[in-house]
């Protein structure tokens, strides 16, 4: 009985890891301008490898990743304001 309980706990932690990797891949792909669905699908199919792939994948030119960085800036400006500032600069 103890063996089954230990296998169940490991399976639960693997399930949590799989779901967290799908969430992270979805977040990264959305920030890089490719939408949440592509990251979610890759995260569910590739698990932990998808997070590494999305970290290495280049961001689109006008994405949140390029405008605000990976986590956003604390200056309170929206993406639209940053795009307007970028178009005025050059």
Q: By residue range, what is the domain housing residue 46?
A: 2-89
Predicted structure pTM score: 0.82
Residue 31, classified by CB atoms within 10 Å of its CB into exposed (0-12), middle (13-18) or buried (19+), is: buried
Residue 70 contacts residue 63 (beta carbons within 8 Å): no
Encode pLDDT of 66-83 as tens digits: 888 888 776 777 788 888
User: How many domains are there within the chain?
Assistant: 1
Q: Report CA 59 to chain centroid distance, whole Å.
A: 12
Going residue by residue through the chain, which has 90 residues, state the pLDDT in tens, using 9 for 90 and above: 677 777 788 889 999 999 999 999 999 999 999 999 999 999 999 999 999 999 999 999 888 898 888 887 767 777 888 888 877 776
Name the phi and psi angles at 20, rounded to 5.
-65, -40
Residue 59 contacts residue 66 (beta carbons within 8 Å): yes
Residue 28 contacts residue 55 (beta carbons within 8 Å): yes
What is the rounded CA–CA span in Å between residue 43 and residue 81?
A: 31
């Amino acid at each position: 009985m103890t063996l089954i309980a230990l296998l169940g706990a490991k399976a639960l932690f693997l399930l949590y890891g799989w779901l967290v990797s799908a969430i992270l891949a979805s977040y990264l792909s959305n920030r890089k301008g490719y939408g949440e669905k592509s990251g979610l699908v890759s995260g569910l199919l590739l698990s932990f490898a998808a997070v590494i792939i999305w970290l290495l994948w280049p961001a689109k030119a006008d994405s949140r990743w390029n405008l605000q960085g990976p986590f956003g800036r604390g200056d309170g400006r929206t993406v639209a304001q940053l795009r307007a500032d970028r178009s005025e600069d050059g």
